[in-house]
Amino acid sequence: GAVVSQHPSWVICKSGTSVKIECRSLDFQATTMFWYRQFPKQSLMLMATSNEGSKATYEQGVEKDKFLINHASLTLSTLTVTSAHPEDSSFYICSARDPMKDRVETQYFGPGTRLLVL
């Protein structure tokens, strides 16, 4: 149980284009999902907390107009990197909490999306 998927797993795009990443909870409903970014050999950096039916809460330093988050349903959150630049190249990982689990605080991670902007 508590399986999270992400699509795509890999994306290569040209500078200036927009990229959409989907995060789905497959066997549970997630009212809250999290978006992280991880640069090589560094720890996870929380970008934003996505709540179903409301606006995402962004961490300090994360541009909300550049990283658009939509959590339109209890099983799907999307992250759109708008006008991507090479410095946006990173490993983007989503996670979700399963409110039905005994330990609701546990975050379950998707497999991640590796973005390369040329």
Give the tokens for residue 108. 């379950």
Which x/- pattern over 76-115 shows residues binding another protein (rule: CB under 8 A)?
Answer: ---------------x-x---------x-xxxxxxxx-x-
Nearer to another protein, 46 or 76 (CB): 46
Radius of gyration of the chain, Cα coordinates, nearest whole angstrom:
14
| E strands, 1-118, in order | 4-7, 10-13, 19-25, 32-38, 45-51, 57-58, 67-73, 76-81, 90-97, 107-109, 113-117
Give the tokens for residue 28. 């549970």
Minimum CB distance to another protein, residue 16 (Å)? 27
User: Binders of another protein among 30-69, rule CB under 8 A?
Assistant: 42-46
Nearer to another protein, 1 or 14 (CB): 1
Residue numbers of the site for another protein (CB under 8 A)?
Answer: 42-46, 91, 93, 103, 105-112, 114
